[in-house]
Structure 1
Amino acid sequence: MKPLVSVVKIGGNVIGNDTELATFLKRFAAIKGHKILVHGGGALATELAAKLGIPSKMVQGRRITDAQSLEVITMVYAGLTNKKIVAKLQANGCNAIGLSGTDANLIQAHKRPVTDIDYGFVGDIDGVATKTVSQLLKADLSPVFCALTHDGHGQLLNTNADTIAAELAIHMSRFYTTTLYYCFEKKGVLKDIDDENSVIEQLDNRSYTRYRAEGVVADGMIPKLDNCFHALERGVTKVCIGDTAMIADTQNKFTTITF
């Protein structure tokens, strides 16, 4: 039987709330077995960019990353946010190591080609150094990845954190029974965005197509769910979306994604 690994992605709105972040990190540290954390930080990056007079532009839930934005993102993601999370995990007894895709060549990517939209310095993932990640896990380290990769030629690339989490889970599924969790500020995928309790507890391809056509699922949730189904198709055992209580031993509602 393959050993277990949990890949958990935490959203920027939780990261920006010190109380919620502290609760999440305590819960993450308590997860049994091997675990990997992937974090964004887009809300904090947008806030810092505004203070610096740098405009932020989003298209279909994706950030347009010019040279100035990339500098801000690197400071926020790989610097303050990553090290803050690692320090707090250490305080919770979780021996974490902060990483980006550039470190040890862990995540290889290429700059997204320009088609109808020029996303700038945004990366699409080519591969994951699974053996190196496994070595970290076997050393009882919990990798904490920020949303940065590189192209192998010295260029940093902003890469969607949901995608990084999905690709890590997919590649690690060769050696591990892998569960992918997307934690954010909502209880799950909601039928009514104004009703926190309208959680869709089971979502498959057919219902996803229907909800998307009806506008129930829209904006940033679309690429998130696309990543969920992609992960399941590529070998991930289980994918869940919900708030931070989802990863704890609770009976709270959340969304489980199935085929």
Structure 2
Amino acid sequence: MKQKLSIIKIGGNVIENKQELTKFLQAFSKIPGPKILVHGGGKLATELGKKLGIQSKLVNGRRITDAQSLELITMVYGGLANKNIVAELQSLDCNAIGLSGADANLIQANKRPIGEVDFGFVGDITSVNSDALTKILDCQWTPVFCAISHNKKGQLLNTNADTIASEIAIGMSNMYETTLYYCFEKKGVLRDIANEDSVVTHINTNTYQELLDKNIIADGMLPKLENCFNALHKKVAKVCIGDISMLDEKATLHTTITL
């Protein structure tokens, strides 16, 4: 039987709220067995950019990463956000290690081709070094990934944190029984955006189509669900979406996604 591995992606609204971040990290540190944390930090980067006179450029909610923006997100994602999380996990006796995709060649990517929009230094993942990542887990270290990959030619690349979490879960699924958690400020996928308790507790391939037809799943939740089903089709055991409370083994009010 494969050992269980938990991969948790934390949303920006949790990272930016110190009280919520501490609450999350306390819950994360108590998850039994090997675990991996993935985070972004887009809003933090935007705030620091304003102080430095660097204007963020977004198209349909996606950041255009020019050379100056890449320097900014490397400072924020790989430095400020990552090291604060690692330090707090260490205070909770969770032996965390901060990583980017470039470390140990863990996440390799190609620069996204220019289409209708030139997203700049944005990476599309080509491989996850599961052997190296397994060695890190075997040392009983807890990897904390920022949303940066590399192309193995010396170039760092800004990469979607949801996708990084999904690709890590896929890459590790041959060695582990992987469960992917998307942790954000909502309790799960909601039937009614105005009702915080209207959680769709289970979604499979059939109900997913029904929810799409009824426009219950729309906007920013669409790419998240696409990542979820892509992971499930590539041997990830289960995907969960919800707030901090779902990290409790006894929790029931969140969205579980299966095939």
TM-score relative to the length of structure 1: 0.96
Q: What letter is aligned with 1:155? A: Q
CA distances 1:194-244 after superposition (whole Å, capped 9, x unpaired) = 211111111223333343344322222111111100000001001000001
Looking at structure 2, the residues matched to 100 and 215 of structure 1 have their Cα atoms a distance apart, in angstroms, of: 36
Number of the residue aligned with 1:105: 105
Number of the residue aligned with 1:195: 195
Number of the residue aligned with 1:13: 13
Relative to structure 2, which stretch is displaced further, 116-125 or 208-217?
A: 208-217
Looking at structure 2, the residues matched to 66 and 160 of structure 1 have their Cα atoms a distance apart, in angstroms, of: 15
Number of the residue aligned with 2:161: 161
1:69-88 alignment to 2 at 5 Å?
Answer: 69-88=69-88
| Distance of aligned partners of 1:84 and 1:213 in 2 relative to their CA distance in 1, 3 Å threshold | same
| Distance of aligned partners of 1:152 and 1:204 in 2 relative to their CA distance in 1, 3 Å threshold | same
Number of the residue aligned with 1:134: 134
Q: What letter is aligned with 2:120? A: G
Secondary structure at 1:228's aligned position in 2?
A: helix
Looking at structure 2, the residues matched to 71 and 168 of structure 1 have their Cα atoms a distance apart, in angstroms, of: 24
Contact 1:60/1:220 (<8 A) preserved: no
C-alpha displacement of 1:68: 1.6
C-alpha displacement of 1:115: 1.6
Query: What stretches of structure 2 of length at least 5 have no aligned partner?
Result: none
Query: What stretches of structure 1 of length at least 5 have no aligned partner?
Result: none
C-alpha displacement of 1:59: 3.2
Q: What letter is aligned with 2:171? A: H
Number of the residue aligned with 1:207: 207
Q: What letter is aligned with 2:175? A: F
Contact 1:112/1:123 (<8 A) preserved: yes
Looking at structure 1, the residues matched to 75 and 8 of structure 2 have their Cα atoms a distance apart, in angstroms, of: 22
Number of the residue aligned with 2:257: 257
C-alpha displacement of 1:252: 4.5
Secondary structure at 1:22's aligned position in 2?
A: helix
1:50 equivalent to 2:50? Answer: yes
CA distances 1:140-179 after superposition (whole Å, capped 9, x unpaired) = 0000000000111111100000000000000100100101
1:119 equivalent to 2:111? Answer: no
1:236-251 alignment to 2 at 5 Å?
Answer: 236-251=236-251
Relative to structure 2, which stretch is displaced further, 247-256 or 100-109?
A: 247-256
Secondary structure at 1:182's aligned position in 2?
A: strand
Relative to structure 2, which stretch is displaced further, 96-105 or 117-126?
A: 117-126
Looking at structure 1, the residues matched to 66 and 192 of structure 2 have their Cα atoms a distance apart, in angstroms, of: 35
Secondary structure at 1:167's aligned position in 2?
A: helix
Q: What letter is aligned with 2:70? A: L
1:211-230 alignment to 2 at 5 Å?
Answer: 211-230=211-230
RMSD of aligned C-alpha atoms? 1.3
Number of the residue aligned with 2:64: 64
Number of the residue aligned with 1:170: 170
Looking at structure 2, the residues matched to 67 and 192 of structure 1 have their Cα atoms a distance apart, in angstroms, of: 40
Contact 1:98/1:143 (<8 A) preserved: yes
| Distance of aligned partners of 1:51 and 1:118 in 2 relative to their CA distance in 1, 3 Å threshold | same
- What is the aligned-residue identity percentage? 61
Contact 1:9/1:181 (<8 A) preserved: yes
* Count of residues paired in the alignment: 259
Contact 1:61/1:223 (<8 A) preserved: no
